Amino acid sequence: MHEPLLFKNRTNATSQTAIVGANLCPIQSLDYEVIENDLFKQDWRSRTEVENFQYLVLKWLLAFLIGLGTGLVGCFNNLAVENLAGFKLLLTNNLMLKDKYYQAFAAYTGCNIVLAAVAAALCAYIAPAAAGSGIPEVKAYLNGIDAPSILAPSTLFVKIFGSILGVAAGFVVGKEGPMVHTGACIAYLLGQGGSRKYRLTWKWLRYFKNDRDQRDLITCGAAAGVAAAFRAPVGGLLFALEEAASWWRSALLWRTFFTTAVVAVVLRGFIEFCHSGKCGLFGQGGLIMYDVNSAYPTYSVPDLLAIIFLGIIGGVLGSLYNYFVDKVLHTYSIINKKGPPFKILLVITVSLLTSCCSYGLPWLSRCIPFSAHLPVPDQCSTLGHRSGNYKNFQCLPTHYNDLASLFLNTNDDAIRNLLRSGTEKELHLSTLFLFFVAIYCLGIITYGIAVPSGLFIPVILAGASYGRLTGTLLAPVLNLDVGLFALLGAASFLGGTMRMTVSLCVILLELTNSLLMLPWLMLVLLISKTVADCFNKGVYDQIVKMKGLPYLEAHAEPYMRSLVAADVVSGQLVTFSGIEKVGNIVHTLKMTRHNGFPVIDEPPFSAAPELFGLALRSHLLVLLKQKKFTIHRTMTGPEIMRMFDANDFAKAGSGKGIKLEELNITNEEMEMYVDLHPITNTSPYTVIETLSLTKAAVLFRELGLRHLCVVPKKLGRPPIVGILTRHDFMLEHIQKLHSHVETHN
Amino acid sequence: MHEPLLFKNRTNATSQTAIVGANLCPIQSLDYEVIENDLFKQDWRSRTEVENFQYLVLKWLLAFLIGLGTGLVGCFNNLAVENLAGFKLLLTNNLMLKDKYYQAFAAYTGCNIVLAAVAAALCAYIAPAAAGSGIPEVKAYLNGIDAPSILAPSTLFVKIFGSILGVAAGFVVGKEGPMVHTGACIAYLLGQGGSRKYRLTWKWLRYFKNDRDQRDLITCGAAAGVAAAFRAPVGGLLFALEEAASWWRSALLWRTFFTTAVVAVVLRGFIEFCHSGKCGLFGQGGLIMYDVNSAYPTYSVPDLLAIIFLGIIGGVLGSLYNYFVDKVLHTYSIINKKGPPFKILLVITVSLLTSCCSYGLPWLSRCIPFSAHLPVPDQCSTLGHRSGNYKNFQCLPTHYNDLASLFLNTNDDAIRNLLRSGTEKELHLSTLFLFFVAIYCLGIITYGIAVPSGLFIPVILAGASYGRLTGTLLAPVLNLDVGLFALLGAASFLGGTMRMTVSLCVILLELTNSLLMLPWLMLVLLISKTVADCFNKGVYDQIVKMKGLPYLEAHAEPYMRSLVAADVVSGQLVTFSGIEKVGNIVHTLKMTRHNGFPVIDEPPFSAAPELFGLALRSHLLVLLKQKKFTIHRTMTGPEIMRMFDANDFAKAGSGKGIKLEELNITNEEMEMYVDLHPITNTSPYTVIETLSLTKAAVLFRELGLRHLCVVPKKLGRPPIVGILTRHDFMLEHIQKLHSHVETHN
């Protein structure tokens, strides 16, 4: 929350003009508190059993629709990527077969650049919020931070098509992160009823027009996204639980699982449909499913040592990766700020570099005859219109180029090649090393360009290649299959970068469909996460921090213990009287960007000034718009109650709320009074000023508040000391006020 | 909490003698709040990095030990049950083979009764808390209710051996529920360092001597128990998450998963060890693992209809089951109250009834020749020292009795017979029907007797039999295998009784190791839970309620919205002065059973009376024991701080705290003063008296509080209105104060 920081102390006339009309508050907080004002209570009392039942049915219907929508988008995504990339690869391959190497390079690079440029243009001009993974933003949203247009329909559109184009353009990016964001966008749109046009939907959805229900829907959406990306319903659920959601309820667990199961069913149906050959170039490749079952995991001491080594390597490489990603993101943000053309230029540059790597490096590799190690060459090689997993590249049709089989393939197929079991000599050591270095570097420089780009795939690719490298190197002393080593390498690198553990473990289990790998996977994840945590934070947390999103951690920081709530309350407090002058309200709303205003009852309405409650900016705007003003200070509560129902105060979609400028209040009206009692939340949470900041932070976070009133301990003072918002718990703010606090922890 | 109800209003002299020395408070609340008093702050400031690291290492070490311990107990449990029950069944079988039917009955029933009587005696005389499933108690503990000796070492001992004897005695009970309780007990004991004798452990474990860390450990323990019972690490995790735990943190997710994975590894090692034949009669049978993989799930409309039917039946039968279990429990509790001999008599009666059913009913069934439907008769029949899954009973060696194969078997083997795929005609319709009716009724009358008795197995048995019955009946129109129908039947009945969904789904998936069943399982669980929820609550919730445990639901009840915090504060408030007379404290501690006392600073120590904080009974007792008293009202804070460290105030194991009677305070000392400031929590959570009760309940529950101070809104009143405890949010209490509240929701 930047608003209190910027505007709390600015009440002098000079700063007014600068503020009003300036760019509207970029980041809003979400409010998970129930606003218990008179209107809410009236509405709550009149709610019937039928309405409660409707609400329940609708919740499940929405969960189903989120699953269906995300599942279908997942299918479309895979279909489009496989066909676009397949067409590109076939074109290149056919030119190569005719020995037209330069034309092949031109065709390959040209396709890539065109696809990349379109993706970048979409992203730069239509929805800049669609760039990147989207997981950090969804995570921040579920923590209570409403970054602008992060879940808007335009973002959804660009996320889907940008992701398809980006992946098809051969970037070292995945479609998994964007799927999570897509799922969240779909959930948000469904909760909003799509658009205001549909009056019917609106009425049904009125109970969902609040941040609490939106949060539940988006949690379902994020889980559905993971489920769609990995075909892992339980993994999706656990991802939402472990990484995405900040709050969790047992009831939501079941609804989320229902959503992810719907996704699983949709994907299953899609694959069965595609088996009949109606999906063009879409084969087994689109949806990740690593069939390494054939290799039976064993447990021996050399394997154990090798796996511990993998875990340590994964932790070190992962934290290094995060470090470089952070640096590159900072650099890119400077370039990206210069405007859309620069964004597109950057994307084209990275695309050119990626194409050169992909096409150039395989020349360093030797040709390997098919018959030697591959069991069914005709199913694997690329012939005619089929795009197989093994590429001839410059070799004879009876040979394949192993590096080309990794580079000149979709990322999913490359992963499948790396994880394949029982094929120790299929990929050379040098190939694996080259591929690892290239992917590691390309992954770092690719994240942050203006295309939707997931991090899972680059990380899995790099991890699997060094895992397989280790497995191949140590093959004489190891019992475990190299394919399984590749899987463990991927796990170690995922653990080192993302620091998720349970959900990754379950996702990888579901992908490989082999419970026997569980102990090894847990071990490697545990080690890599522990090692990496010594150096820096997880990549998503880093990105959240870099984007300046005021994320509230679940635990209070140690330095908070030495402070009390009153220590971090800063700036001037603006309060309203129970019956307030219209002019005062309008002026205050113009002058500040506060979103909550304490309402104080003063004599003659009470014996002494006392806190009546908290009024929200959005509610004040709705109240002012109806212009139910009086000339004198009189209670007009019942009349106001008749004029409104709770619907009018439902949360508007982002950017759709009433603007202060729309109000058109005359000068006479400015001198009149309005009764704030009916819209004031009479039960805001309060803390006494001497409560330790730790406990205030825990309260604020656990209850998902936006405002926390600080009340005085001693008598004879105004009834409220200040309001704590999300921003007041941020280290930067606290350090400004108390430079002595120790933050070494 | 019963204490405020009973004693708040009793301050007159007559009731004093009655209270002091009477049975000590039976149920205590747990306190998850950090007690931020001066001693805590001093300790916290002096905590070094090394200590923090020790704490972290210890957390993981404890998680590992919990997993190891629970896994080993699980192995031992299975080994003992299989050998005891196997011996009994072989004895019976060998007598049957010689046509000595009466002797066989006598041997079978005799064994059963002896085993049952020993189990009952253990339970009745050593640890009555070990009776029943234990899951409701663990659930209540994790909600903040410390029922007496629920996690004591004696309970653990009886739980393990009573469960082994009970299952071996042929009762329709499982060892799964008791495993959860066992896991929780192991976790608690490890957290306590086993015993006070081990000084070394004590020092290391001092950071775990509080309810928060204990809660985490016990969550791990409960998850480990499920993992050990079902060999389902992810299912165990989700069980802890969905059913057991009331609070959850992302960090705990990973630690719990680690614990369940350790369990999985231990069990795996055990099974591999037993494959070499060193485990006596222990075969594949001990650990549930339903290998129905061979049947490939299909999806068709008749199957869909049949499965919806199963779901509805499961819901109806499940809620009926819960209803009857509740009635039977009420009846049994009257019998059990009469004393241990009656408990044992009841157990013997039920055992006799079970034996008669098991031995008598198979006579109604016909003999089926082995060769007809069973592929490998020699592996299935019981011959010599091997206890196979199919029993000859009264038939010729070339025939088997299908009902006897269900009844005269361990429950695990019976389940395996029911779930076996590709064997449509192996079990007759009449057999399945008889078995279902018998198990349904026996299950109802067995739960509640004084032996550790899990509910999973009876429910799975009954569900699988009607599932298989449905599948066999409708076989001509269905595509799905009858074994899968049995599985779906089990799922539907589990959903109907326990109302867990996600964890059951995952447990069943992990048992069958086939992800393809997921959509069907979810459907059937969803339907049965929804249907059953229309009638009554889940069986564990019912038992919690029946036991009178004040369980706090995650959501606030609707009727709370019409009340405010002050409405439910009842009784007289007892407060202490910052420097209080010793006699006053001792008297108050004797007279009330309150556990938290507001400490008020009064003139001359402050300008006006103000709330300094909250002192706990246990801390007051520790303070009084040191006798740092003064003749005059003077601050002795620094001296007291030097006398104590935070260790002295660590939570004592249940029943190990200082007793008021141990203090021996002289009459002179009674007239002296003691400074309460150093031990007073200066940051108790507070709510303003006008806060709606809903919000107070949410705050209380989300933050896991034991005491919530209600402060006045208006000036000129005492600084505290009252204290809310768990008990004040219970419907019974609220209805006593406000008879008008609507509770139809």
**Full 3-state SS string of A504-541:** HHHHHHHHHCCHHHHHHHHHHHHHHHHHHHCCCCCHHH
* Residue A162 lies inside a defined structural domain of this protein: yes
Distance from CA of A703 to the nearest CA of B (A): 7
Distance from CA of A290 to the nearest CA of B (A): 15
Judge whether B88 and B108 are in contact, CB under 8 Å: yes
A485 & A566 share domain: no
- B347 in contact with A at a CB cutoff of 8 Å? no
Output the six-digit token pair for A24. Answer: 């509207």
* Residue A290 lies inside a defined structural domain of this protein: no
| Bridge partners for B174 per DSSP | B454
| Bridge partners for B390 per DSSP | B381
Determine the average pLDDT of the residues in A119-124.
94
A596 & A653 share domain: yes
Q: What pLDDT, in 10s, does the model give residues B154-174?
A: 999 999 999 999 999 999 998
DSSP H helical ranges for B420-533: 429-446, 456-473, 482-498, 502-512, 518-533
| Bridge partners for B580 per DSSP | B674
Pick from A501, A248, A555: which is nearest to B242 by CA?
A: A248
Is B522 close to A258, i.e. CB distance below 8 A? yes
Q: Which DSSP state fits A385?
A: T
Q: What pLDDT, in 10s, does the model give residues B249-303?
A: 777 888 998 999 899 888 888 887 887 777 766 655 445 555 555 566 677 788 8
More confident: A709 or A410: A709
Q: Which residue has the tokens 């479309």?
A: A76
Q: What pLDDT, in 10s, does the model give residues A381-392?
A: 444 333 456 777
pLDDT > 80? residue A291: no
Q: HSE-up of A741 (CA within 13 Å, CB side)?
A: 22
Judge whether B254 and A521 are in contact, CB under 8 Å: no
Output the six-digit token pair for B405. Answer: 């194969």
Cα angle at A254 between A248 and A256, to 5 degrees? 70
Pick from A364, A360, A409: which is nearest to A388 by CA?
A: A409
Q: What pLDDT, in 10s, does the model give residues A240-256?
A: 988 888 888 777 888 99
Q: Hey, of A243, A254, A510, which one would you mutate to test binding to chain B, going by the most B CBs within 10 A of its CB?
A: A254
- A152 in contact with B at a CB cutoff of 8 Å? no
Candidate from A13-17, A373-377, B143-147, B586-590 with smallest mean pLDDT? A13-17
| Dihedral (CA of A51, A57, A60, A63) sign | negative
Residue B657: per-residue pLDDT: 74
Which residues of chain B does A216 touch, with a Cβ-Cβ cutoff of 8 Å?
Answer: none
Output the six-digit token pair for B741. Answer: 């509240």
**Is B262 strand, coil or helix?**
helix
Judge whether B741 and B44 are in contact, CB under 8 Å: no
Output the six-digit token pair for B520. Answer: 């069907």
CA atoms of A422 and A424, how far apart (whole Å)? 6
Residue percentage of chain B with pLDDT more than 70: 87
Determine the average pLDDT of the residues in A659-681.
88
Output the six-digit token pair for B167. Answer: 């299952």
**Is B222 strand, coil or helix?**
helix
Is B41 close to A249, i.e. CB distance below 8 A? no
What residue in A sits closest to B260 (Cα-Cα)? A519
pLDDT > 50? residue B514: yes
CA atoms of B54 and B66, how far apart (whole Å)? 18
pLDDT > 70? residue B204: no
Distance from CA of B714 to the nearest CA of A (A): 7
- B522 in contact with A at a CB cutoff of 8 Å? yes
Q: Which of residues 684-743 of A touch B (CB under 8 A)?
A: 685-688, 690-692, 694-695, 698-699, 702-703, 711, 713-716
Residues 6+ apart with CB under 8 A from B517: B297, B484, B487, B508, B509
More confident: B541 or A603: B541
Output the six-digit token pair for B527. Answer: 């339907």
B495 & B475 share domain: yes
CATH number of the domain enclosing B602: 3.10.580.10
* Residue A563 lies inside a defined structural domain of this protein: yes
pLDDT > 70? residue B488: yes
Pairing of strands A596-601, A610-616: antiparallel
Q: HSE-up of A404 (CA within 13 Å, CB side)?
A: 27
Write the residue in B36, B685, B713 that is nearest to A699 by C-beta: B685
A477 & A577 share domain: no
Judge whether B400 and B393 are in contact, CB under 8 Å: yes
B479 & B596 share domain: no
* Residue A20 lies inside a defined structural domain of this protein: no
What residue in A sits closest to B514 (Cα-Cα)? A513
Residues 6+ apart with CB under 8 A from A203: none
CA atoms of B459 and B455, how far apart (whole Å)? 6
Residues in chain A, total: 745
Helix (H) or strand (E) holding B147: none
B569 & B512 share domain: no
pLDDT > 70? residue B551: yes
Q: What pLDDT, in 10s, does the model give residues B581-593?
A: 999 999 999 888 8
Among A498, A519, A547, identify where a domain stops. Answer: A547
Residue B395: per-residue pLDDT: 77
Is B683 close to A703, i.e. CB distance below 8 A? no
Output the six-digit token pair for A402. Answer: 């192993």
Pick from A541, A445, A453: which is nearest to A499 by CA?
A: A541
Residues in chain B, total: 745
> Residue A56: how many CB atoms within 10 A of its CB?
11
Helix (H) or strand (E) holding A311: helix A301-337
Pick from A133, A129, A230, A121: which is nearest to A178 by CA?
A: A133
CA atoms of A609 and A630, how far apart (whole Å)? 22
B362 & B414 share domain: yes
Judge whether A453 and A171 are in contact, CB under 8 Å: yes
Helix (H) or strand (E) holding A616: strand A610-616
Which residues of chain A does B715 touch, with a Cβ-Cβ cutoff of 8 Å?
Answer: 608, 610, 715-716
* Model confidence band, residue B424 (pLDDT cutoffs 50, 70, 90): low
Output the six-digit token pair for B588. Answer: 């108050």
B542 & B565 share domain: no
Write the residue in A34, A242, A711 that is nearest to B250 by C-beta: A242
Among A526, A547, A568, identify where a domain stops. Answer: A547
**Is B565 strand, coil or helix?**
helix
Q: What pLDDT, in 10s, does the model give residues A492-501?
A: 999 999 998 8
Write the residue in A502, A522, A611 that is nearest to B253 by C-beta: A502
Distance from CA of A54 to the nearest CA of B (A): 15
Domain that holds residue B463: 301-369+400-547
Distance from CA of B598 to the nearest CA of A (A): 15
Q: What pLDDT, in 10s, does the model give residues A635-652?
A: 777 888 788 776 777 777
CATH number of the domain enclosing B145: 1.10.3080.10
Q: For A392-411, b where at least 16 C-beta lie within 10 A, e where not — what string?
A: bbbbeeebbbbbbbbbbbbb
* Residue A384 lies inside a defined structural domain of this protein: no
- B242 in contact with A at a CB cutoff of 8 Å? yes
Output the six-digit token pair for B548. Answer: 């009178």
DSSP A138-163: HHHHHHTEE-TTTT-HHHHHHHHHHH
> What are φ and ψ of residue A612, in 5° steps?
-90, -35
Using CA atoms, how far residue A117 sits from A110, A178, B158, in Å, is 10, 18, 71
Distance from CA of B723 to the nearest CA of A (A): 16
Residues 6+ apart with CB under 8 A from B332: B346, B448, B449
Is B502 close to A237, i.e. CB distance below 8 A? yes
CA atoms of A345 and A359, how far apart (whole Å)? 21
pLDDT > 50? residue B465: yes
CA atoms of B508 and B514, how far apart (whole Å)? 9
Is A519 close to B241, i.e. CB distance below 8 A? no
* Model confidence band, residue A49 (pLDDT cutoffs 50, 70, 90): confident
Q: What pLDDT, in 10s, does the model give residues B718-733?
A: 888 899 999 899 988 8
Is B36 close to A692, i.e. CB distance below 8 A? yes
CA atoms of B727 and B593, how far apart (whole Å)? 13
Residue percentage of chain B with pLDDT more than 90: 36
Output the six-digit token pair for B522. Answer: 């979810």
> Residue B45: how many CB atoms within 10 A of its CB?
9
- B261 in contact with A at a CB cutoff of 8 Å? yes
* Residue B153 lies inside a defined structural domain of this protein: yes
What is the dihedral angle through the alpha carbons of B225, B228, B232, B235, rounded to the nearest 10 degrees? 0
Cβ contacts below 8 Å, chain A against chain B, sum to: 144
A620 & A659 share domain: yes
Cα B457 from chain centroid (whole Å): 16
Is B686 close to A683, i.e. CB distance below 8 A? no
A631 & A700 share domain: yes
B320 & B196 share domain: no
CA atoms of B95 and B104, how far apart (whole Å)? 5
Is B250 close to A554, i.e. CB distance below 8 A? yes
Q: Which of residues 608-627 of B touch A (CB under 8 A)?
A: 608, 610-611
Among B547, B582, B608, identify where a domain stops. Answer: B547
Burial status of residue A114 (CB atoms within 10 A of its CB: 0-12, 13-18, 19 or more) = middle
> Residue A429: how many CB atoms within 10 A of its CB?
11
Residue B289: per-residue pLDDT: 56
| Bridge partners for B709 per DSSP | B686, B723
- B61 in contact with A at a CB cutoff of 8 Å? no
- B670 in contact with A at a CB cutoff of 8 Å? no
What residue in B sits closest to A35 (Cα-Cα)? B695
Determine the average pLDDT of the residues in A199-216.
73
Residues 6+ apart with CB under 8 A from A47: none
Which residues of chain A does B695 touch, with a Cβ-Cβ cutoff of 8 Å?
Answer: 34, 36, 683, 685
| Dihedral (CA of A724, A727, A730, A736) sign | negative
Q: What pLDDT, in 10s, does the model give residues B620-656?
A: 998 888 888 888 888 777 888 788 776 777 777 666 7
Write the residue in B505, B610, B699 that is nearest to A703 by C-beta: B699
Distance from CA of B639 to the nearest CA of A (A): 22
pLDDT > 50? residue B441: yes
Distance from CA of B115 to the nearest CA of A (A): 37
Q: What pLDDT, in 10s, does the model give residues A4-44?
A: 333 333 333 333 323 333 334 468 888 888 888 888 888 88
| Bridge partners for A674 per DSSP | A580
Write the residue in B248, B502, B698 that is nearest to A703 by C-beta: B698
| Bridge partners for B368 per DSSP | B400
pLDDT > 90? residue B573: no
Q: What pLDDT, in 10s, does the model give residues A314-350?
A: 999 999 999 999 999 999 999 999 999 999 999 999 9
* Residue A142 lies inside a defined structural domain of this protein: yes
* Residue A388 lies inside a defined structural domain of this protein: no
Domain count, chain A: 3
CA atoms of B107 and A738, how far apart (whole Å)? 80
Write the residue in B238, B265, B513 that is nearest to A519 by C-beta: B265
Is B501 close to A526, i.e. CB distance below 8 A? no
CA atoms of A391 and A380, how far apart (whole Å)? 8
Determine the average pLDDT of the residues in A463-485.
88
Residue percentage of chain A with pLDDT more than 90: 37
What is the dihedral angle through the alpha carbons of B178, B182, B183, B185, rounded to the nearest 10 degrees? 140
A237 & A140 share domain: yes
**Which of A275-284, A542-551, B62-71 is the most confident on average?**
B62-71
Q: Which of residues 383-402 of A touch B (CB under 8 A)?
A: none
Distance from CA of A519 to the nearest CA of B (A): 7
Candidate from A208-217, A396-405, A579-588, B548-557 with smallest mean pLDDT? A396-405
Pick from B22, B90, B127: which is nearest to B450 by CA?
A: B127
